[in-house]
Amino acid sequence: MSGKIFYRERRKVVDGAKQPRYILVAVADVNLKMFGKHLRMSEMKAIAEATGAELVALPRGGKHDNDE
């Protein structure tokens, strides 16, 4: 069974800012140590391909998701 790498888009990203756009949230069933927290999509794809893991994008919640 391949592992999964969960990520989401960062909240405060400005187009053209030249900063990594995605934040690593969790890794499941992959023997892997991650040292960077903010990654570019090309970096995450390279890691997923090398480890045989699947990339899973997490949905962004609204501004006040915990309000009911």
Q: Where are the domains of the chain?
A: 4-12+19-57
Q: What is the pLDDT of residues 34-60, one digit of tens each?
A: 888 888 899 999 999 999 999 999 987
Residue 1, class by beta-carbon neighbours within 10 Å (0-12 exposed, 13-18 middle, 19+ buried)? exposed
pLDDT grade for 1, boundaries at 50, 70 and 90? low
What residues have CB less than 8 Å from 54, skipping those under 6 apart? Answer: 2, 3, 4, 5, 48
pLDDT digit string, tens, across residues 17-32: 667 788 888 888 888 8
Whole-structure pTM value? 0.73
- E strand or H helix at 42: helix 41-51
Tokens of 23: 């934040």
